[in-house]
Amino acid sequence: MPFIYELTLAEESPQPSYTLAQQLVSQGTLVGTGQNIAVLTDGKNEFHLRAPLQGLIAEWLASSGDALSPDEPIVRIVAEGAECAVSAVTPVRSQPC
């Protein structure tokens, strides 16, 4: 049975100020667990936002240039299987090539 989860940022201390720089996958795309789905920036560095669970991107709730907050969902994803709690995500710093 499919269920919908909304991806949010994990609370960090101190809380960085992230902005959505780029959506890497479009609405309607199937993403895998751990796949990079967006690029965030804190003004100095870039970070990847990864899907915590496989699913279909149902709706982006944030657009490029939007400031992100831990209490606001970024993307809505439809996952297969029994409904489960999906943890908030901590962005991972992008490594230069």
- As a dihedral over the C-alpha atoms of residue 47, residue 52, residue 53, residue 55, rounded to 10 degrees, the angle is -30
Range of the domain at 85: 3-93
Domain count, the chain: 1
pLDDT tens figures, 38-67: 999 999 999 999 999 999 999 999 999 999
Q: Containing H/E element for 39? A: strand 36-41
The span from the CA of 27 to the CA of 60, in Å, is: 7
pLDDT for residue 33 is more than 90: yes
CATH number for the domain harbouring residue 31: 2.40.50.100
Q: For residue 94, what pLDDT band results from cuts at 50, 70 and 90?
A: confident
**pLDDT of 76 higher than 70:** yes
